[in-house]
């Protein structure tokens, strides 16, 4: 029992900006200790070593020579890098827009009182819960040749079969569609939770003012969701850019490198080309780009908070 | 508890500890057997693993002073598996592996040459398999099995269309075109390693290859381009199933087994993977003659290799030789899909009665070359050539119908880069 | 609010049912295919199997499936306990206090979230190997706990921000130290939040492939995602076994989500994360 009890009468919880060893700081430090320990071991050590790798030209078995920023320079001059950068950006943007819109729609739907709502909520989580290998195998079956389900339906409507995994543009569309499909449940769940916390009285006030359904959605619901939406989009961007499974399991970044993302490029450099330096450099550049993005998006959120 | 009891207790414990230490020290040294780690690739299904484990148990029983631990390694991300193990000092003593694993790891300083083991085995290897093991004046591995690429055809489809079995590549292209229609395609392939094999096959079979004789990248040589032109022609004719770009090996085999295509390039024992009714309708195309008038085919010679990190090289070599000598059950009970490299195993009746094995052994193997044609031999860069994905991208681009002039030079440049590393 | 008639409600239910079925089409196909044997699947391309058999499910016993399942459950539970324990403490601190240490920690969390784990694999392998952690669940547990830490911490923080402070303030006045207040007062009330956070941590770990593939390589140590891959070898893919294994693999997570569905939507993600 500390003496703080005497002086704390109505003292606010938030201490000032001074980082002295106030009871709050000590308490905070204790509370953070387990997390910091885990992070130090698993993240800090590899980051440092990874950065060192990116400055050498070795393989995993033979440490190479120090070549300074050589890897980075080579990377920034290679067309493969810009191609995968463009595709990673396309992949991320499409996923965010698609999964947010569909997720929001489903969240609004799941707010309605209807029989079986609880079951539907769980079943709609399946695309997220099913392991990636299995869901991608299932999708491949649906699109892979002229006897696949999608083409059966297309032919029933009188069209000619589309070879989704053979043509680069269609393969890109399929991988984006699968990514959105896998992201929607998470967006739906998060937005649903956020929707539940919107103060009902705001809607009542809008109704009294004569607002239509659409107006109250636009003027009450959306602004209330703004903060969490920005955070969700941020998270989803990070997860999408770092997503190895979806493009790899579908077509290993093919056909003809059409769906190669930055992560796949890094993986190929490290394990297929034996060039750990390049792989590490690619990963660090990706990290750097993400950091810039996060920084700007957080600024946006802070300004509107 | 009083002081005297504690003292007594401590004394008793001390005596017990001393006695134990003495006893342990007295354990005779000869009961310490040498333990070896053997990593074996997933050459076939569950039956293979059971058979292999039984074989290892047999070795252990016959050799009480050498105890081998067996581990089966899946093919996916295999390079990652081995490299992480090597990098952390936990490599196995012996392992089997793909055609270029030994030479690639030798280039990284991780493999022990096995010339003495080969000499001990003597003259029992099928022709050509030993050459594929030689690099830098040593043999980097003992041949384990060959993965021969064979061109198959559907007897029912060719008969129905009244087309004769082709003997040259031009005839092959024409035959494929003649049978295409009504839901049947001339050729089915895949957009993965299985499909990628078409590139080294068609180039070396026409007198060229991935490499020129002087060792430089040879995809753009006249002979190679003639070969690749056949592939581009088949695509332009519409004889290739367009889904091939997105197919994996299994899909192509399934499609061929269902009679949806007339020709397929695959492993020698592929017919065992389709239903028996379909297998009865499959025939082997006699090796096609290339533009230069001769017939050549493609194979990979898989390895058994010995690691430098082993602490017991003599015992490891003994096991390695035993594994090679006693390979027959792996085929007869384990159902390995590749062909054996030990002539004594290949002479077994199981192969004598299998028409596809016979065709492969008698018609294809004698004229088979590896990925290194036209240079020959083996070298570390071949592993990256085989594994880094640029050939897969190239074959996907060709199957998509992209013009050769646009895609082959880029691939050739990439090949040059790999050679320079 | 609109009054919903019974007919309205059933209509919406019908529409939603259609949407659910459409969205889950690939999964329905997967489950249907688990009732076909591999030979049937290769021989024809029927979407609906003509012969329903439970062979694949019985055959699972012969494969290491139950070993994989056991490993997955152990690894995921362990990772969840680690992550949630650390995250609950940190999330509480972030929710209640403001100082330089916490600001930088919150920023660092973003960095961790963005970190491409592929970069860490080799250094971690080299770190864990001498400690004998490779091929034990502990290696994966530790990595999963860290990889999930940022998101779980944010969830925890959001949750704590919704708990009114009066109880804690009262306890402080009564003379309890802040840590004691946390353990005696706040934690017992945090049931829903802990459940929600744990389910997410469990799911992320249960489905993870990449890391498990590097650290858990022997049949005895493998988790389900890696084990599923084993059904897909180059030439002898056991499609039937794969689909059956995947169907069974879904069951624990479905049960968990069904149970915790109320907690998640109500408690944990509310309030938004404020900067």
Per-residue pLDDT at A154 exceeds 90: yes
Of C33 and C48, more confident: C33
ipTM: 0.83
Range of the domain at A150: 78-304
- Residue C137 scores a pLDDT above 60: yes
Confidence of residue A190 (pLDDT cuts 50, 70, 90): confident
- What backbone phi and psi angles, to 5 degrees, belong to A259? -110, 35
- Looking at the complex, does the CB of residue A169 fall below 8 Å from at least one CB of chain C? no
Number of CB atoms found within 10 A of residue B227's CB: 26
Quote the pLDDT of residue C254.
Answer: 86
Give the mean pLDDT of B49-58: 93
Is there a cis peptide before residue C256, judged by omega within 30 degrees of 0? Answer: no
What domain range is C240 assigned to?
Answer: 59-268
Report yes or no: B243 at the A interface, CB cutoff 8 Å: yes
Of A127, A190, A266, the CB nearest to C23: A127
CB-CB under 8 Å, A268 with B388:
yes
Contact C116 A122 (CB under 8 A): no
Residue C43 banded pLDDT, cuts 50, 70, 90: low
B31-147+300-368 classified as CATH 3.40.190.10: yes
Q: What is the rounded distance in angstroms from the CA atom of residue A177 to the CA atom of residue A142?
A: 13
Query: Among A140, A165, A273, whose Cβ lies nearest the Cβ of B388?
Result: A273
What average pLDDT score do residues B77-83 get? 83
Residue B6 has pLDDT above 50, yes or no: no
d(C-alpha C139, C-alpha C131), whole Å: 10
* Mean pLDDT rounded to a whole number for chain B: 88
- Distance separating alpha carbons of residues B121 and B317, to the nearest angstrom: 11
How far is A151 from chain C, CA to nearest CA, in Å? 12
Cα torsion angle, A92, A94, A95, A101, sign: positive
B246·A274 Cβ contact <8 A: no
Query: What's the structural domain count of chain C?
Result: 1
Strand partners, B298: B369
- The listed range with the strongest mean pLDDT (A132-136, C33-37, C177-181) is A132-136
Q: Interior CA angle at B296 toward B157 and B400, to 5°?
A: 55
Decide: A47 and A257 in contact? Cβ < 8 Å: no
Lowest mean per-residue pLDDT among A132-136, C82-86, C259-263: C259-263
CB contact under 8 A, A254 and B83: no
If you search the block for the tokens 């003809």, which residue do you land on? A256
Place of tokens 């297929």: A272
A224 reaches B (C-beta below 8 A):
no
Q: Which of C33, C90, C225 is nearest residue A35 as measured by Cβ atoms? A: C90
Supply the CATH number for residue C150's domain: 1.10.3720.10
Percent above pLDDT 70 for chain C: 87
Residue A11: pLDDT band (50, 70, 90) is very low
State the pLDDT at residue C59.
78
CA distance C223 to chain B (A): 14
CA distances to A78, B307, B420, C175 from B106, rounded to whole Å, are: 30, 9, 17, 70
pLDDT at site B398: 95
Virtual CA dihedral for B229, B232, B234, B236, nearest 10 degrees? -130
- Do the domain assignments include residue C157? yes
Pairing of the two strands B138-139 and B142-154: unpaired
Residue C169 included in any domain:
yes
Q: Which residue has the higher pLDDT, A83 or C1?
A: A83
How many Cβ atoms sit within 10 Å of the Cβ of residue A11? Answer: 11
Distance from CA of B192 to the nearest CA of A (A): 9
Q: Does B50 touch chain C (CB under 8 A)?
A: no
Q: Which residues of C touch B253 (CB under 8 A)?
A: 235
Q: Which residues contact C149 (CB under 8 A, 6 or more apart)?
A: A35, A38, A39, C83, C86, C87, C90, C109, C112
pLDDT of residue B10: 53
Task: Please check the confidence at residue B7 and state whether its pLDDT lies above 90.
Answer: no
Per CATH, B31-147+300-368 and B149-299+376-420 having the same topology is answered: yes
Neighbours of B118 (CB within 10 A): 19
pLDDT (tens digit, 9 = 90+) per residue, A192-211? 888 887 878 888 888 888 88
Where in chain B are the domains?
31-147+300-368, 149-299+376-420
Query: Scanning the structure block, which residue is given the tokens 């085995």?
Result: B121
Residue C65 has pLDDT above 80, yes or no: yes
- Across the strands, what pairs with B112? B306
Residue contact A287–C45, C-beta within 8 A = no
- Look at residue A12 in the predicted model and tell me its pLDDT: 43
Closest Cα in chain A to B88: A61
Mean pLDDT across chain A: 84
Judge whether A146 is closer than 8 Å to chain B, CB to CB.
Answer: yes
Residue-level length of chain C: 275
Question: What would the mean pLDDT of B404-414 be, rounded to a whole number?
Answer: 94
> Cα(C235)–Cα(A192) distance, rounded to whole angstroms?
45
When comparing pLDDT for A104 and B31, which is higher? A104
| Range A153-161 contact pairs with CB under 8 angstroms and sequence separation of 24 or more | none
Q: Please give the pLDDT value at position A305.
A: 55
* Tally of domains within chain A: 1
Answer yes or no: do B251 and A145 touch at CB < 8 A. Answer: yes
Closest chain B C-alpha to C227 CA, distance in angstroms: 10
Q: Which residues contact B25 (CB under 8 A, 6 or more apart)?
A: none
- For residue A23, name the pLDDT band (cuts at 50, 70, 90): low
Residue B358 has pLDDT above 50, yes or no: yes
Which residue from A minimizes the CA distance to B387?
Answer: A272
* pLDDT score recorded for residue C265: 61
Rounded to a whole number of angstroms, the distance from the CA of C126 to the nearest CA of chain B is 5
The length of chain A in residues reads 305
Q: What CATH number does residue A143 fall under?
A: 1.10.3720.10
H or E stretch including B300? strand B297-307
C256 lies in a domain? yes
Does any CB of chain C come closer than 8 Å to the CB of residue B52? no
Q: Which two tokens stand for residue C59?
A: 């055959």
Q: Looking at per-residue confidence, does B164 or A49 come out higher?
A: B164
The two tokens of residue C148 are: 């999930």
pLDDT band at B326 (very low <50, low <70, confident <90, very high): very high
CATH of domain B149-299+376-420: 3.40.190.10
In this prediction, residue B129 carries a pLDDT of: 87
Angstroms from A168 CA to nearest CA on chain C: 22
User: A205: which 2 tokens?
Assistant: 């006030």
Of C86, C178, C258, the CB nearest to A122: C258
Q: Which residues of A touch C257 (CB under 8 A)?
A: 122, 125, 129
Whether the Cβ atoms of residue B393 and residue B193 lie closer than 8 Å to each other: no
Query: CA B230: distance to chain centroid?
Result: 26
* Residue B168, CA distances (Å) to B165, B291, C102 in order: 10, 8, 74
Point out the least confidently predicted range of A12-21, A269-278, B194-203, C149-158: A12-21
CB pair distance less than 8 Å for B267 and C43 = no
By percentage, how much of chain C surpasses pLDDT 90? 15
> What is the average per-residue pLDDT within B20-35?
57
Nearest to B75 among C43, C125, C234 (CB): C234
pTM for the predicted model, two decimal places: 0.85
Q: What is the 3-state secondary structure (H, E, C) of B191-222?
A: CCHHHHCHHHHHHHCCCCCCECCCCCECCCCH
The single residue listed with the structure tokens 């009054």 is: C3
> Residue B145 and residue B324: Cα distance in Å, rounded?
10
What gap in Å lies between CA B140 and CA B136, rounded to an integer?
Answer: 9
């Amino acid at each position: 029992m500390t003496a703080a009890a005497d002086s704390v009468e109505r003292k606010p919880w938030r201490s000032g900006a001074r980082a002295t060893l106030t009871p709050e700081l000590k308490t905070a430090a204790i509370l953070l200790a387990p997390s910091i320990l885990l992070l130090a071991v698993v993240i800090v050590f590899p980051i440092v070593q990874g950065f060192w790798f990116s400055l050498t030209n070795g393989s995993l078995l033979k440490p190479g020579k120090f070549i300074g920023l050589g890897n980075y320079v080579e990377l920034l001059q290679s067309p493969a890098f810009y191609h995968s950068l463009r595709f990673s950006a396309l992949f991320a943007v499409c996923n965010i827009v698609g999964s947010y819109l569909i997720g929001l729609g489903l969240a609004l739907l799941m707010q309605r009182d209807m029989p079986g709502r609880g079951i539907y909520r769980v079943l709609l989580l399946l695309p997220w819960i099913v392991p990636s290998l299995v869901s991608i195998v299932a999708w491949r079956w649906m699109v892979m040749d002229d006897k696949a389900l999608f083409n059966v339906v297309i032919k029933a409507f009188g069209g000619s079969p589309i070879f989704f995994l053979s043509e680069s543009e269609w393969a890109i569309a399929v991988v984006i569609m699968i990514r959105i499909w896998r992201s929607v449940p998470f967006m739906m769940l998060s937005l649903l939770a956020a929707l539940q916390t919107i103060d009902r009285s705001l809607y009542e006030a809008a109704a009294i003012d004569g607002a239509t359904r659409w107006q109250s959605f636009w003027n009450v619901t959306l602004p209330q969701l703004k903060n969490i939406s920005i955070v969700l989009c941020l998270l989803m961007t990070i997860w999408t850019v770092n997503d190895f499974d979806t493009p790899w399991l579908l077509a290993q970044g093919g056909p003809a490198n059409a769906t190669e993302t930055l992560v796949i490029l890094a993986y190929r450099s490290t394990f297929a080309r034996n060039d750990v330096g390049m792989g590490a450099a690619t990963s660090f550049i990706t990290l750097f780009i993400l950091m810039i993005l996060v920084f700007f998006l957080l600024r946006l959120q802070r300004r509107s908070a | 508890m009083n002081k005297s009891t504690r003292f007594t207790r401590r004394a008793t414990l001390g005596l017990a500890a001393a006695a134990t230490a003495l006893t342990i020290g007295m354990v005779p040294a000869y009961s310490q057997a040498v333990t070896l780690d053997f990593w074996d690739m997933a050459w076939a299904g569950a039956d293979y693993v059971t058979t292999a484990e039984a074989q290892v148990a047999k070795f252990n029983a016959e050799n009480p002073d050498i105890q081998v631990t067996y581990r089966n390694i899946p093919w996916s991300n295999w390079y990652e598996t081995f490299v992480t193990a090597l990098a952390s000092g936990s490599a196995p003593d012996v392992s089997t592996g793909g055609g270029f694993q030994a030479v690639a790891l030798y280039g990284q300083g991780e493999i022990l040459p096995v010339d003495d083991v080969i000499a001990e085995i003597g003259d029992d290897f099928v022709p050509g398999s030993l050459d594929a093991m030689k690099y830098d004046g040593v043999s980097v591995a003992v041949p384990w099995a060959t993965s021969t690429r064979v061109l198959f055809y559907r007897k029912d489809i060719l008969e129905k269309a009244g087309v004769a079995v082709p003997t040259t590549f031009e005839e092959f292209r024409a035959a494929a075109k003649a049978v295409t229609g009504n839901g049947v395609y001339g050729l089915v392939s895949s957009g993965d390693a299985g499909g990628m094999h078409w590139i080294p096959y068609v180039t070396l079979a026409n007198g060229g290859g991935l490499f020129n004789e002087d060792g430089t990248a040879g995809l753009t040589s006249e002979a190679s381009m003639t070969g690749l032109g056949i592939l581009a022609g088949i695509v332009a004719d519409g004889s290739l199933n367009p889904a091939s770009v997105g197919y994996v090996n299994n899909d192509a085999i399934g499609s061929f087994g269902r009679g949806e295509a007339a020709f397929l390039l695959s492993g020698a024992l592929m017919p065992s993977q389709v239903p028996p009714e379909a297998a009865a309708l499959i025939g082997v195309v006699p090796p096609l003659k290339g533009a230069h008038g001769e017939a050549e085919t493609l194979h990979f010679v898989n390895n058994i290799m010995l690691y430098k990190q082993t602490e017991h090289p003599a015992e490891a070599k003994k096991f390695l030789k035993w594994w090679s000598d006693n390979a027959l059950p792996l085929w007869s009970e384990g159902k390995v899909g590749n062909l054996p490299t030990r002539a004594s195993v290949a002479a077994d009746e199981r192969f004598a009665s299998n028409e596809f094995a016979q065709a492969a052994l008698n018609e294809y193997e004698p004229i088979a070359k590896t990925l290194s044609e036209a240079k020959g031999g083996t070298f570390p860069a071949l592993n990256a050539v085989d594994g880094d994905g640029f050939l897969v991208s190239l074959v996907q681009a060709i199957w998509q119908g992209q013009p050769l002039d646009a895609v082959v030079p880029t691939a050739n440049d990439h090949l040059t880069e790999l050679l320079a590393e | 609010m609109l009054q919903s008639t019974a007919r309205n409600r059933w209509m919406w239910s019908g529409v939603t049912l259609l949407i659910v079925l459409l969205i889950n089409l690939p999964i329905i196909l997967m489950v249907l295919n688990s009732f076909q044997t591999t030979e049937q699947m290769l021989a024809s391309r029927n979407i609906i199997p003509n012969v329903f058999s439970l062979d694949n499910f019985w055959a699972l016993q012969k494969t290491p499936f139950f070993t994989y399942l056991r490993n997955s459950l152990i690894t995921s539970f362990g990772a969840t306990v680690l992550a949630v324990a650390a995250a609950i403490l940190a999330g509480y601190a972030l929710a209640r206090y403001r100082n330089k240490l916490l600001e930088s920690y919150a920023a660092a969390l973003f960095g961790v979230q963005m970190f491409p784990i592929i970069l860490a694999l080799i250094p971690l392998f080299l770190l864990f190997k001498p400690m004998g952690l490779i091929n034990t669940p502990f290696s994966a547990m530790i990595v999963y706990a860290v990889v999930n830490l940022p998101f779980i911490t944010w969830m925890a923080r959001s949750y704590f921000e919704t708990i009114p402070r009066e109880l804690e303030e009262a306890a402080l006045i009564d003379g309890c130290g802040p840590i004691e207040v946390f353990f005696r007062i706040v934690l017992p009330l945090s049931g829903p939040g802990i459940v929600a956070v744990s389910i997410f941590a469990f799911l992320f770990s249960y489905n993870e492939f990449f890391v498990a593939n590097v650290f858990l390589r022997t049949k005895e140590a493998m988790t389900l995602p890696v084990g599923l891959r084993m059904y897909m070898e180059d030439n002898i893919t056991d499609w039937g076994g794969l689909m059956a294994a995947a169907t069974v693999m879904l069951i624990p997570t479905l049960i968990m989500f069904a149970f915790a569905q109320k907690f998640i939507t109500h408690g944990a993600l509310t309030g938004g994360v404020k900067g």
